[in-house]
Amino acid sequence: MKTEAIEKARATKQANKERFEAQTVTIDENWRILRSDPLNWEIQYKGKFNGYFPTLSSVLKRLPAKMLDETAKGDLSEVLRSLQAIQEVIEKAIP
């Protein structure tokens, strides 16, 4: 491959990386939604992969359940309070 083509490929890759990073949504100190490539959104918990999704809406549908899996303890009323708090955190995080 010619040097010019290699440099163009690197520049394209860097531009895509920056474009995807600009689409990151930080929910709280533990949870993030980020664009991993043109076809996928990713949920991360404490910086680690927690699932790929094809659309942002599919991420937002699944995220409360994933977050609840990490925090649900106690009786039903406590779980429902946790779910309400999770929904509030997500709503505040989405610009």
The per-residue pLDDT for range 35-88, each reduced to its tens digit, is: 988 899 999 999 999 999 999 999 999 999 999 988 888 889 999 999 999 999
- pLDDT tier at 1, thresholds 50, 70, 90: low
User: How many Cβ atoms are within 10 Å of 67's Cβ, its own excluded?
Assistant: 24
Q: How many domains does the chain have?
A: 1
Distance between CA atoms of residues 14 and 2, nearest Å: 19
Whole domain around residue 42: which residue ranges?
A: 3-93
- Dihedral of CA atoms 24, 37, 47, 28 in degrees, nearest 10, equals 20
Distance of CA 11 to the CA centre of its chain: 25
- Dihedral of CA atoms 30, 43, 37, 15 in degrees, nearest 10, equals -20
